[in-house]
Structure 1
Amino acid sequence: MAAALTVGGVLVLAAGLWDMFRTLLHPTGQGVLSRMVMAGLWRFSRATGHRLLVVGPSGMLAVLLLWVLMQAVGWALIYLPHVPEGLVYSSGIDPADYSDAVESLYLSAVTLTTLGYGDVVPTDPWIRAVSPVEALTGFALLTAGLTWFTQIYRPLSRRRSLALELKALAGTCFADQLGEIQPEIVTRVLDTLTTEVGRVRIDFAQHSEGFYFQEKDPALSLPHQVTYLLRLRDSAVHAPGSAVRSSGGRLSVAVCQLSTVLDDTFLHVGAPPEEVLTAYATQHGHHRAPA
């Protein structure tokens, strides 16, 4: 029984740490458990009409709490076979008043959070050997959580910047005037957009949690503005100048790559870029392309 509890605890710990690694350190940024939590909250939000625009931060907080819970439970399972014989209690505490499971979970939580009340002290050599590792894990969790929350805002900033650029171009009917503007200016604008779209595509691939962040202001919302990329692409690839058509071709490739990441990772539409980007806008509550 003791061996089974220890093995079970190690498996729970490994699953949580592996998900942390896949989410925070792996280039794809896609842990299985974190994706399940974020996607589940997203589906619930869509079912309620996205009334609260907090799926992104709430999902990240829920994932972080899940990681903490898995570490606490995993270490508690490892401690359980050694409770209460492997512990010394301060005066006034009777271990008979608490179940072994509750006591091991309490010891795990206190160690993980590095509180160290001193009311329960391990004397078992095994617990004394591994409890510092749990304390280090708790410190790593805190650091990882803070880093995760701070690093998401740079991708969000790039996404908002692209949305604002598309909003400005749509407001000036840029796609309808490519033949009337100097080719050098048109190619510069299109090439800049291509670069920005590429960066956003990489952000979605490496920071998948960013998909679940929404914007209240339509001007800052990429899902609201993204379909204008299609108008720019179509106008550019059919423009009279070869330089503009070349830039339009590069933009077309970037749009296709962006739609592929969105479709493969989040939407699963299995359709051309036009339908994928429309589905992206629809999932975020936008049903019409910007004028």
Structure 2
Amino acid sequence: MAVLLTLLGIVIVLVGLWDIYHSLLHPSGTGAIGGRVQTAVWRISRRTGHRFGSAVGPGSMITVVLLWVLLQGVGWALVYLPHVPQGFTYSPGVDPADYPDVLGALYISLVTLATLGFGDVVATDPWVRLATPLEALTGFALLTAALTWFTQIYPPLSRRRSLALELKSLADVGYADGIAQEDPVTTARVLDGLAAEVAKARIDFTQHGETYYFQEEDPDLSLARQLPYALELRERAAASASPAVRTSAGRLGLALEQLGQKLREDFVRTGETPEEVFAAYAADHGREPVR
């Protein structure tokens, strides 16, 4: 039984570390466990009409971090359990017989993981003494990874908001309606800039998939609401008499198709054309798309 508990604990620890690696260090940016947790939180929010608004994204990330902590805490507790209490010495006043071995192992694990080091319980078993520093190192790495995860999402969110504001400003002045009268060089430059920003948004959804679950309270900053206008720009530019404008329209169209494919495969799971995918994206975020 001792060997079985130890092996089970090691497996749980490794599964948690594997998910952390895939969420923070792997190019895909999405762990299997963390990604499912965030999807579940998002679905609950959607069923309540996104009542919690912009808190859903950070809340889902906090939930994932707590799950990582739980996996590490439980995993290491199972490693310690066969050695509790005989593999530890306890401070005066602490009687291990007063507590179930399971709770004692979990307490030791969580204190070690948090690198608190109260000193009321000290490992004496040689193998356990070797394991506790490893868990403390894991806990420090987990804390650092969690802080890094929260800080690295803001650049993608800023780029997405910037693109949304750019599309809104073009929609407000009716840029698509006046493309035929605009200077072709200027129009091509505007379209090329949009294509580059759309491509960045696609990369951000690939590397930082958790940012999909961040809902904007300000509709002007919501890419889900503003993105359909890029399709209108593409259609009007594709009908231009200028070859340069048509080429830029093709680049923008390709970028939009690639973004739509990413959204369809990883998030909305519906739609065949970019128009359908972007409409589903807007509906998923509770927004009315700009036409």
1:106 aligns with 2:107: yes
1:243 aligns with 2:233: no
Task: After TM superposition, give the deviation of residue 239 of structure 1 in Å.
Answer: 1.2
Q: Where in structure 1 do 4 or more consecutive aligned residues deviate above 2 Å?
A: none
Amino acid in structure 2 at the alignment position of 1:73: V
Output one character per residue of 1:270-291: Cα deviation in whole Å (capped at 9) or x when no partner. Answer: 411110000000000013x325
Which residue is 2:28 aligned to?
Answer: 28
Which residue is 2:119 aligned to?
Answer: 118
* 3-state secondary structure, aligned to 2:118: coil
Which residue is 1:179 aligned to?
Answer: 180
Which residue is 1:215 aligned to?
Answer: 216
* 3-state secondary structure, aligned to 1:43: helix
* 3-state secondary structure, aligned to 1:121: strand
Task: Count how many residue pairs are aligned between Structure 1 and Structure 2.
Answer: 290
Cα distance in 2 between the residues matched to 1:116 and 1:214: 40
Aligned pairs for 1:232-271 (under 5 A) are 232-271=233-272
Output one character per residue of 1:39-83: Cα deviation in whole Å (capped at 9) or x when no partner. Answer: 001000000000111111000000001001100000000000000
Which residue is 1:144 aligned to?
Answer: 145
Amino acid in structure 2 at the alignment position of 1:4: L
Amino acid in structure 1 at the alignment position of 2:11: L
8 Å CA contact 2:239–2:246 kept in 1: the answer is: yes
Cα distance in 1 between the residues matched to 2:2 and 2:235: 66
Aligned pairs for 1:61-80 (under 5 A) are 61-80=62-81
Which residue is 1:155 aligned to?
Answer: 156
Output one character per residue of 1:75-134: Cα deviation in whole Å (capped at 9) or x when no partner. Answer: 000000000000111111111100110000000011000111111111011110111000
Task: After TM superposition, give the deviation of residue 236 of structure 1 in Å.
Answer: 1.0
8 Å CA contact 2:224–2:281 kept in 1: the answer is: yes
Aligned pairs for 1:32-43 (under 5 A) are 32-43=32-43
Output one character per residue of 1:157-202: Cα deviation in whole Å (capped at 9) or x when no partner. Answer: 0000000000000001101111100001100100000000000100
* 3-state secondary structure, aligned to 2:259: helix
1:14 aligns with 2:14: yes
Task: After TM superposition, give the deviation of residue 156 of structure 1 in Å.
Answer: 0.0
Sequence identity percentage: 56
Amino acid in structure 2 at the alignment position of 1:278: A
1:52 aligns with 2:52: yes
Cα distance in 2 between the residues matched to 1:286 and 1:219: 11
Cα distance in 2 between the residues matched to 1:272 and 1:214: 23
Amino acid in structure 1 at the alignment position of 2:169: A
1:81 aligns with 2:117: no
Cα distance in 2 between the residues matched to 1:27 and 1:154: 16
Which residue is 2:192 aligned to?
Answer: 191
| Gap runs ≥5 in structure 1 | none
Question: Which stretch shows the higher mean deviation, 262-271 or 14-23?
Answer: 262-271
8 Å CA contact 2:19–2:34 kept in 1: the answer is: yes
Cα distance in 2 between the residues matched to 1:56 and 1:7: 35
Which residue is 1:170 aligned to?
Answer: 171
Cα distance in 1 between the residues matched to 2:242 and 2:47: 47
What is the TM-score with the length of structure 1 in the denominator?
0.99
* 3-state secondary structure, aligned to 2:69: helix
Task: After TM superposition, give the deviation of residue 256 of structure 1 in Å.
Answer: 0.1
Over the aligned positions, Cα root-mean-square deviation in angstroms equals 0.7
Output one character per residue of 1:197-256: Cα deviation in whole Å (capped at 9) or x when no partner. Answer: 000100001000000001111111100101101101111111111110000000000000
1:205 aligns with 2:206: yes
